[in-house]
Amino acid sequence: MAHTYELIASPRDRVGKGSARALRREGKTPAVVYGDKQPPLSIAIDTKETFLKLHAGGFLTHVATLKVDGKEIKVLPRDYQLDPVTDALVHVDFIRVSDNTKVTVNVPVHFVGQEKSPGIKRGGVLNIAAHEVAMLVSANAIPEHLTADVGALDIGDAVHISAVTLPAGATLVDHNDFAVATVVGTAAATAEEAAEEAAAAAAAAPAEEPKA
In this structure, the answer to whether residues 109 and 184 fall within a common structural domain is yes
Q: Is residue 209 part of a domain?
A: no
What pLDDT does residue 13 have? 78
Question: Would you call 82 helix, strand, or coil by DSSP?
Answer: strand
Residues 61 and 38 in one domain: yes
Residues 107 and 156 reside in one and the same domain: yes
Q: Which domain holds residue 11?
A: 5-97
Number of domains in the chain: 2
**Domain co-membership, 172 together with 125:** yes
Q: Is residue 211 part of a domain?
A: no
Handedness of CA 80, 83, 87, 89 (dihedral sign): negative
Does 11 reside within a domain? yes
Residue 71: count of CB within 10 angstroms of its CB: 8
Q: Give the CATH number for residue 135.
A: 2.170.120.20
**Domain stop point among 39, 63, 97:** 97
86 and 155 share one domain: no
Boundary (domain end) residue, out of 97, 120, 144: 97
Please tell me whether residues 196 and 111 are part of one structural domain. yes
In order along its 212 residues, the chain shows pLDDT tens digits of 456 899 999 998 776 777 778 888 899 999 999 998 899 999 999 999 999 999 998 899 999 999 998 899 999 999 999 999 999 899 999 999 987 899 999 999 999 999 999 999 999 999 999 999 999 999 989 999 999 999 999 999 999 999 999 999 999 999 999 999 999 987 655 556 656 666 666 666 665 555 55
pLDDT at 207: 55
Picking from 97, 116, 148, the residue at the C-terminal end of a domain is 97
pLDDT score at 191: 58
Residue 212 lies in a domain: no
Buried b (16+ CB within 10 A) or exposed e, 84-97: eeeeebbebbbbbb
